[in-house]
Structure 1
Amino acid sequence: MSSLPATDTSPLLELRGINKRYRMGDADVHALQDVDLSIARNEYVAFIGPSGSGKTTLMNIVGCLDRPSAGTYFLNGKNVEELDDTQLARIRNREIGFVFQNFNLLGRADALHNVMQPLVYRGTPLRERRRMANAALDRVGLGNRLDHLPNQLSGGQRQRVAIARALVGSPSILLADEPTGNLDSNTAREIMAMFAALHEAGNTVVLV
């Protein structure tokens, strides 16, 4: 497996000549063409552009949810294109924290168990899962909402639970796809302030 040396001065992720094509009927749609991107550790990056410009496609490739049609992607020195599906799932679970516009919380699980969920797939013991999830919820200001279901929380609180879930495993990078899209303007400002604070605390943040 080819790799780049993962040193403190090397990029956290690097994309070289990334292309993504979709087949729609008789036409090829080029969602991404020859994208080169390098993101350092503890960098705060935003993908900005109109609908249909390829932002989410690029985010999905960075998050190892999709593969490019051509090009090379290194994450923490590893060539992602050489990883099989099991290895990619492990990368997503351990290296990447996801925050989605629609929160993607489990409706029948309380805040604590929603945040614990990624740790289940790691095989983390129950007591340690609880400790880590408690700490993550404290970090986003919801330490007093552990037993609340998603429908008992405001939109901003649900997004904070989603952020805690993304952070609980101490990922290398935090990816947020339009995380304020379903929030009112005041709550959106609070969530963006939280991302700024997470960046100041040393997290690498990439958002659409």
Structure 2
Amino acid sequence: MRRRNRETILEAALDVFSRKGFRGATLDEIATAAGLSKPNLLYYFRSKEAIHTHLLDGILKTWLDPLYAVDPGGDPREEILGYVRGKLAMSRQYPRESRLFANEILQGAPHVAPRLTGELKRLVDEKAAVIRAWGAEGRLPVLDGHHLIISIWALTQHYADFEVQMSAVLGEKDPYPRAEAYLEELFSRMLTGP
């Protein structure tokens, strides 16, 4: 029962935070969405910030896993294209989480700044060095690894963060199959060089 109530609260909070951001969300709204009283909600989480932080920690772990999985010993092109596919699949599977994270960043990252400058920066630096080494070895064109990773984030997460815009512009309920084909072609050309 305790685990089920925590999961219900987190699911409700994810929905509210992804639509309204941390500042716009209230504990009352989260409790109502969870079908619980506010005192009951506070029994499971001591504050709105505690719920928000718990959600962000889970999102960051989930999102970092595919970047950790980029194998320096693998085929560079396949490793990067696999990362692109993985990030797009995550945007499709976790659009609310993506919007929650985007809202946090737009607010100046008050709850995740240490993770961004710590674990995330270390991981991106490590993988950018791998990309640089692949270029130096002639296995890829010489690319700025940091900006390549950031470009992948921008081009994949945009589909989740701006879902309404994507649906309006493309006139499709599911833009992901075409997006995957396009991004695969785009990055394949970049990774092949001139």
Q: Pick the TM interval, shorter chain.
A: 0.3 to 0.5
Bigger radius of gyration: 2
Greater strand content:
1
Under a length normalisation based on structure 1, what TM-score does the superposition of the two structures give? Answer: 0.31
